A and B are shown apart, each in its own frame.
Chain A
Amino acid sequence: MRTTLAILSLLLILLAASLALTTAAITPAARNIVYVHVPTAFCSLISFCVLFFCSIRYLRTKQQKWDHTAAAAAQAGLLFATIMNLTGMFFARLEWGIWWTPSPRLISSAVLWFLYVAYFLLRSAFESRRRKETLSAVFGIIAFIDVPLVLISARLVPDIHRPSFSFDTPAQLLALASAALGSVLLMTLLIWYSKLSKERLCPHTHPR
């Protein structure tokens, strides 16, 4: 199953890359960064949803597998959020001549990254395993609730994030869709492997 997922993910990402380099290429060439930026943004948000769901499940059941999955989702989410912010910064520099500006989507992306980092800071602060798991789950819930609030409050700030192009041709849409699907499969795989490694390191579960 994991091998199939890995092969599928690789094939989809390769398809997206080959399309982006040929028929789906956007001019100027720097704009092709959106084929990485948009799917990673999508994955970082999905990871946050997984983190939220697993945190609630952990608080309800106290089963360690949920904490392992939540931590694995946060790891994958942090990776994708970092790539999203870095590619976004390069894109902003090339398009608008600035690295960063307070705009709704840029603020929400930055806050998303801060929350992921804060989650890991909290996890590393506790020596007691049960306490770490419980309080990480609590923070995971608060952090998830924070994300839509960022999107709402950031509307008070003027938005610079208006793409001056759209995915018009079928090839561009196909490239974006395969990049997004490939990234989601890659994220699933990362969460799966990370969870398995955590279970190997800490095999004793403690259901209530």
Chain B
Amino acid sequence: MIMLAILIAWIFRIAAESAEISAPAIASAALLAAILFSAILVCEKNFASEHENDCLAALILASADTGDIYLAKLTVNVTMLCIFELIAVPAVLVLFKINAGLSWPRLIIAILLINIGFSSIATLLACAVQGTKTANSLLGVLVMAVLSPMMIPAVSALLSLFSQPDTAFDFNRGLGLLLAFDAIFVTVCWLLFDFVAAGQEN
């Protein structure tokens, strides 16, 4: 995953060199692409091991609420993404020479909200596609189709942070939308996980 993130950032960096697009714009796109692909990989791997050992069936039989299983999986996936970003974010910032005047607390909040939003959908859909022949490619397509509207506020928030001088208005608007996306996605996925988990038994 870390290698994938560095490679994505590096390819975008080369593209930025030859294009007339600003480095902050490509840096925010590279970072989002890295987080998105990593979220897909994390969630897919997390559920693949469960499927192979039939652990999910055992978890569903436990006396805990099925929604709690989803929240636990989501927490693990968000934590894994945060660990991966400890290396990926500095790598992107170094490659694109974005460091002067960067507000770290705001960057951390934005990335955390992006992680939660991406993971909420990826966790639910990773559970849904487990056991299919084309699970890996299918998960990528489904997650990208559903998350495409979230990319707009995510890019807006990151771009306003990376631009000099940063624009607080765009950041706040982007952050507000990210928060709304997270709340809606987590609630809907939490409610629907029961059906997805039950679908695994058929």
List the A side residues contacting B181 at CB < 8 Å: 149, 153
A150 within 8 A of B: yes
**Dominant secondary structure at the A interface:** helix
A29 within 8 A of B: no
Q: Report the nearest B residue to A150, measured CB to CB.
A: B149
List the A side residues contacting B200 at CB < 8 Å: 131
A136-155: CB near B (< 8 Å → 1, else 0) gives 01110111011001101110
Contact B156 A138 (CB under 8 A): no
**Dominant secondary structure at the B interface:** helix
Give the total of B residues in contact with A, Cβ under 8 Å.
Answer: 37
Among B42-50, B74-82, B103-111, B126-134, the one that faces the other chain is B126-134
Known: A135-B196, A141-B188. A115 touches B146 (CB 8 A): yes
Q: Report the nearest B residue to A58, measured CB to CB.
A: B195
B133-166: CB near A (< 8 Å → 1, else 0) gives 1110010011011101110110010000000000
Give B152 Cβ to nearest chain A Cβ, in Å: 4
Q: Report the nearest A residue to B143, measured CB to CB.
A: A118
A to B CB contacts below 8 Å, 20 in the list: A107-B149, A118-B142, A122-B128, A122-B129, A125-B129, A128-B202, A134-B202, A137-B195, A138-B124, A139-B128, A142-B121, A142-B124, A142-B188, A146-B149, A149-B149, A149-B150, A152-B149, A153-B149, A154-B152, A156-B156
Given contacts A125-B135, A130-B199, A139-B128, 6 further A-B contacts (CB under 8 A): A107-B152, A111-B145, A126-B132, A145-B188, A149-B150, A156-B173
